[in-house]
Structure 1
Amino acid sequence: MTTDSDHVKQAITTNREGIDALIAALATPALEQVTQSAIDLIFAMKGRLIVTGLGKSGHIGSKLAATFASTGTPSFFVHPSEASHGDLGMIQGDDVILMLTWSGETRELSDIAAYSRRFGVPLILLTGNGESSLAKAADVVLALPRAREACPHNLAPTTSTMMQLAMGDALAIALLQKKGFTETSFHRFHPGGKLGASLTRIADIMVPPEDLPLVRPDQPVIDVIAALSDKSFGIVGIVDGAGMLQGVVTDGDIRRYLERQSDAPMQKAMRETFADAIMTRDPITLEPGRLSARALHTMQERKISAAFVVEAGKPVGLVTVLQLLNVGAA
């Protein structure tokens, strides 16, 4: 007996077949060439990318407009019905239109297509029908391979919309890379929420210089322990007379040192041994511009709970794993 789980697996398999067909099509010179033409056209535009579509294609288009906008390509969605009642004025001559329609015959898109022809606004069509009426009006036609819908009746837009989404996202990512859009650039458009926290620079959250636990190499171990206790960061920086970071001592270093000195006189262990004798040289450090998510990854990978932020060899801040987790970096 066929179960609900079997239906889910079959739908996913059908969707995957559509993606496989799209990957295969992109390997052909025809689709590869027009894809490059679409990327070049959007990259060179002086205005905005106007995304439009109706029904399920419209929902995909709305999402794609948001993705383009958040990855460095100015973009917004125009509903075709609203366009026919005044919103065509939102489209300027230096824009590019990306139109989504699987059939290529969506009547409601004809006004936007006509407007693009009349005023010379470049039109890119993302469709499943490269021979359609709208395809004949477009400058660039991204004709995706025909694939069976996951719907058992081959009617509800499922596989086709997923292919449109995949192709649109791929164009956005290709443009992101072509523009040299960095993580720092990304943060300008994503300042809020978990993503914003992950993209925050270390310099914006680190412990400031005046609060750093620092001692000189010639100070005794007892002073190092006092600095650890006073600041409670689990780490102390060892700096020379010029303020350059020479090494670090952690709670673990102190614990291991005292275990080795268990039979030694307390006076010698605490007051006659100096910081440079127990410090870890060449410690893991971070730069002020490092993003929180990358800093957290580095610290977890190296199994350290705190690190100094260094600029030109001098400690200018300090950050802990707990700090990064508290601000939402992940």
Structure 2
Amino acid sequence: MSPTAPTNTPASNARGALATARRVLAIESAAVAALTDRLGEDFERAVAMILAAKGRVVVSGMGKSGHIGRKIAATLASTGTPAYFVHPGEAAHGDLGMIQPDDVLIALSNSGTAEELLIIVPLVKRMGAGLIAITGKPDSPLAKLAHAHLDAGVAEEACPLNLAPTASTTAALAMGDALAVALLEARGFGPEDFARSHPGGSLGRRLLTHVRDIMRSGEAIPRVPLAASFTDALLEMSRKGLGMTAIVDAADRVAGIFTDGDLRRLLAQNIDFQRISIAEVMHRNPRHISPDALAVEAVEMMDRHRISQVLVVDAEQHLVGALNTHDLMNAKVI
């Protein structure tokens, strides 16, 4: 008689894990969706308090609520609302001095009974700072002490024991995001403001980098005079390595451009290159951009016109720079 095959196989465990993951996501999605119907006057009051505050937003919470609080503080700070996190335990032992009367405190506690918060909250209110509570219990001590209470309660945790903070922390985080985005829109905080808060990120590079920051200038610009021969222009293109050369008049104003693509098209024709000038085959009135334009505008121009190089000119059409797609890639604009 053959032994019975074990039922707890890797395959069955994997199937069970998939079912669990789907259940967790369903519970947490429902928890976040349920917040919508609870938003009302207290949310509007919280936004108004923060907009009117002359100081900063201070976020505090214990345990998992503290982790969520740190993320909410970071999101607020990066979207136009100066904010930072203070640990309530440390606040009770000296860090309370970091909170000033002009500040607003956002206190997070799912139960609304975190002892560490309840110790410092009366002191914060006494000094005149505003208090916003995010809890899962509207009748909790913390909720009752708050000037504005945001109800982030959940019907159940995703944890099968209904103990580990899971759906409740997701709901609190979503409530914090809703508050941050509402403040962002109320302040008129735009992409350029966001870029200034994130100068090291890709958006910062795209919105803070100007053409003048990355263009070739001076002797690095390929240029020849209108009277130059075709051969002289090719030599200039080869020396400067931009895949093109500008053709300028006696005042150094741009008269035309000649590119690698133009050369390939001419090679298919029966032309005596030794006897022609570059002025005879150049493109007149080429695409150009201002040095004060954003580098991303150069990217958009190149994409729109399907070109890989662009000349940079000043208001009087004098040639001041040049760049190609490699320059933009090196600057991490694209």
Q: TM-score interval w.r.t. the shorter chain?
A: 0.7 to 0.9
1:53 aligns to what? Answer: 61
Name the SS of the counterpart of 2:163 in structure 1: coil
Mapped pair 1:233 → 2:242: yes
Q: 1:130 aligns with which of 138, 145, 161?
A: 138
Letter in 2 for 1:206: M
2:231 aligns to what? Answer: 222
Q: 1:5 aligns with which of 18, 23, 31?
A: 18
Name the SS of the counterpart of 1:103 in structure 2: coil
1:179 aligns to what? Answer: 187
Gap change, CA 1:142 and 1:205, over 3 Å in 2: same
Mapped pair 1:152 → 2:156: no
Mapped pair 1:64 → 2:72: yes
Alignment check: 8 A CA contact 1:216 1:240 kept: yes
Answer with 1 or 2: which has the greater Rg.
Answer: 2
Alignment check: 8 A CA contact 1:212 1:318 kept: yes
Instruction: Give a deviation string over 1:174-202, Cα, whole Å, max 9, x none.
Output: 33343344444444443446565455413
CA separation in 2, counterparts of 1:248 and 1:38?
A: 59
CA separation in 2, counterparts of 1:280 and 1:148?
A: 70
Tell me how large the CA RMSD over aligned residues is: 3.0
**Percent of counterpart pairs with the same letter?**
41
Letter in 1 for 2:267: L
Alignment check: 8 A CA contact 2:75 2:177 kept: yes
Name the SS of the counterpart of 2:239 in structure 1: helix
1:14 aligns to what? Answer: 27
CA separation in 2, counterparts of 1:287 and 1:17?
A: 51
Q: 1:39 aligns with which of 40, 47, 69?
A: 47
Is 194-203 or 170-179 further displaced after alignment? 194-203
Measured after TM superposition, the shift of residue 135 of structure 1 is 1.2
State the number of aligned residues.
319
2:3 aligns to what? Answer: none
1:317 aligns to what? Answer: 321
Alignment check: 8 A CA contact 1:288 1:309 kept: no
1:170 aligns to what? Answer: 178
2:7 aligns to what? Answer: none
CA separation in 2, counterparts of 1:310 and 1:172?
A: 42
Letter in 2 for 1:236: T
Letter in 2 for 1:274: A
Matches within 5 A, 1:138-287: 138-192=146-200, 197-202=205-210, 203-216=212-225, 219-240=228-249, 243-245=252-254, 247-259=256-268, 261=269, 263-268=270-275, 271-272=276-277, 274=279, 277-279=281-283, 281-283=285-287, 285=289, 287=291
CA separation in 2, counterparts of 1:156 and 1:298?
A: 53
User: Which blocks of at least 5 consecutive residues in structure 2 are unaligned?
Assistant: 1-11
Gap change, CA 1:278 and 1:208, over 3 Å in 2: closer
Gap change, CA 1:321 and 1:272, over 3 Å in 2: closer
Name the SS of the counterpart of 1:316 in structure 2: strand
Name the SS of the counterpart of 2:274 in structure 1: helix
2:308 aligns to what? Answer: 305
User: Which blocks of at least 5 consecutive residues in structure 1 are unaligned?
Assistant: none
Name the SS of the counterpart of 1:151 in structure 2: coil
Alignment check: 8 A CA contact 1:128 1:144 kept: yes
Alignment check: 8 A CA contact 1:217 1:239 kept: yes
Gap change, CA 1:153 and 1:198, over 3 Å in 2: farther
2:85 aligns to what? Answer: 77
Measured after TM superposition, the shift of residue 245 of structure 1 is 4.3
Instruction: Give a deviation string over 1:256-281, Cα, whole Å, max 9, x none.
Output: 2322x2x233335xx24526x44164
CA separation in 1, counterparts of 2:95 and 2:279?
A: 74
Is 295-304 or 306-315 further displaced after alignment? 295-304
CA separation in 1, counterparts of 2:155 and 2:248?
A: 66
TM-score if structure 2 supplies the norm length? 0.81
Letter in 1 for 2:184: L
Letter in 2 for 1:81: G
CA separation in 1, counterparts of 2:213 and 2:282?
A: 31
CA separation in 2, counterparts of 1:126 and 1:201?
A: 39
Name the SS of the counterpart of 2:105 in structure 1: strand
Gap change, CA 1:6 and 1:35, over 3 Å in 2: same
TM-score if structure 1 supplies the norm length? 0.82
